[in-house]
A and B are shown apart, each in its own frame.
Chain A
Amino acid sequence: MASAVTNKWRGIAGKCLVFGLALLPLGFLVADIINANLGPDPGQVITEALGIAAFQLLLVTLAITPLKKVTGWSGWLRYRRMLGLFAFFYAALHLLAFLQLILGWMDLWATFTKRPYIIAGAAAFLAMVPLAITSTRRMMKRTGRWWKPLHRLIYPAAILAWVHFLWQARSDITEMVVYAVILAGLLVVRARWFGVSSLVPLKRT
């Protein structure tokens, strides 16, 4: 009984810790805004920082299953939903910042139909929307056997987010290559452990 209580508190403490860590990028950004520490083009810096935070959290979310498999500790799963929701949270802020600070809400139609990198980013965001909506326990129950195939949309979301990032490169793609290696690694281990079909979204297996 006592150990069950301890475990419960441990779980809560762990969640608080992950919550706090996931808020750090936003915290740093807010501090930089307050201290006017973002240079002459703060809108650009903010938008980029939010986008990178979203992408990094997507990768961390994708790392949970391999972590569980490698360490044999299923406790990691406790944090997966929160991390995924934070990825969505940063992606939503990133989109808002882009609209407000970069685009000034001008030229919307051309931007979202003619610019391939924007289309890739928007598609990545759209793929994350149903995942966020169906992340609650109740929605999990309601979607039943469809929940898992639906949530495999995180794979195309991550790939599209990477493409969105790559297509903005002008000359040096070192950073993009590093992320590609990480993302490919996370997908390849899944394919090896669970089969390639485990990566196909919306397919019941």
Chain B
Amino acid sequence: TVLDYKAAPQFSTDEKPAPYDAITTYNNFYEFGTGKQDPSRYASEMSVDPWSVEVEGECANPGKYALEGLLKPHQYQERIYRLRCVEAWSMVIPWVGVPLAEVIKRLEPNSDAKFVYFETLNAPEQMRGQRSLFSTIDWPYREGLRMDEAMNELSFLAVGLYGKTLPNQNGAPIRLVVPWKYGFKSIKSIVRIRFMKEQPKSSWEMIAPSEYGFYANVNPEVDHPRWSQKMERRLPSGVFRPNWIETEKFNGYGEQVAGLYKGMDLSRYY
């Protein structure tokens, strides 16, 4: 469906967005398989309507929210963000959604809420990747943000892409977008939001803590143990046009987010 939104140029890059096809056929969504094309092939097996989000933990308004109820009071915006995958590729994507901070404010977290935790749908009968015998992910997929990160003006809940409802493979019906962090932080198909005192463990941190930290800020100065993060391939690329560009710290969003990490050693808190 076509969405009603207004552009948010102050939060948008003027780089050229990747074509719709590229954004919707090249995805990491391991619930549907580990191949880049698996999600576009199999994500239609997931049913996203009706959808509800369980809100729990340190807040005044916990409960089960129908998706519409969670979003309705807010005006949709379009934000064109860079997305940098930890695998050293990147795309420019025109999201439609609402600022995460606006939604969080309505849920009224209390003063004990230091972190926000998110969970993806756990439904093996709809998600073939969750049925795989040799997957090392302990489903459901989990992610989390520090409260101040979640309240940052860039943190976004996306429900659309190119002005239309999100396709399932891109994390329908509602997903997180935190553009200064590696893509895996931007958890898809969210069914649970929990406000917590303690720092939650994210899925990749559980699988390989030496490779993936809780923060996962885009940082060319800190290599992934298996590859360098200094450069990225901006997709779509071509066989004779690899499109290498230099990776920027915080994916180029340092102006908005560098303050969050003042005094932190980012090679330790990677």
Spell out A's residues near B (CB within 8 Å). Answer: 33, 38-44, 46, 100-101, 104, 106-107, 110-111, 114-117, 167-168, 170-174, 176-177
Contacts and interface: CB of A to CB of B under 8 A. Distances in A.
Given A40-B236, A106-B231, A171 B137 contact: yes
A94 B135 CA distance: 27
Contact of A42 (B34, B91, B134, B237): B237
A151 B133 CA distance: 36
A111 B228 contact: yes
Contacts, number: 84
B238 interface: yes
A38 B136 CA distance: 28
B262 interface: no
A98 to B, nearest CB: 11
B261 interface: no
Nearest to B40: A39
Nearest to A97: B239
A104 B231 contact: yes
Contacts of A171: 30, 34, 135-137, 207
B239 A39 contact: no
Among B207, B223, B239, residue most surrounded by chain A Cβ atoms (within 10 Å): B239
B132 A172 contact: yes
Q: How large is the interface on B (under 10, 10 to 19, 20 to 34, 35 or more residues)?
A: 35 or more
Contact of B244 (A39, A44, A104, A170): A104
A27 B33 CA distance: 26
A39 B91 CA distance: 13
A177 B22 CA distance: 30
A106 to B, nearest CB: 7
B249 interface: no
Top 8 nearest A-B pairs (CB, nearest first) are A40-B236, A40-B22, A40-B235, A174-B134, A172-B135, A172-B34, A173-B134, A40-B26
Contacts of B114: none
Nearest to A100: B242
23 contacts: A39-B36, A40-B19, A40-B21, A40-B25, A40-B26, A41-B233, A41-B236, A43-B233, A101-B239, A101-B242, A104-B242, A106-B230, A110-B228, A115-B227, A116-B226, A168-B226, A171-B30, A171-B207, A172-B129, A172-B134, A172-B135, A172-B137, A174-B132
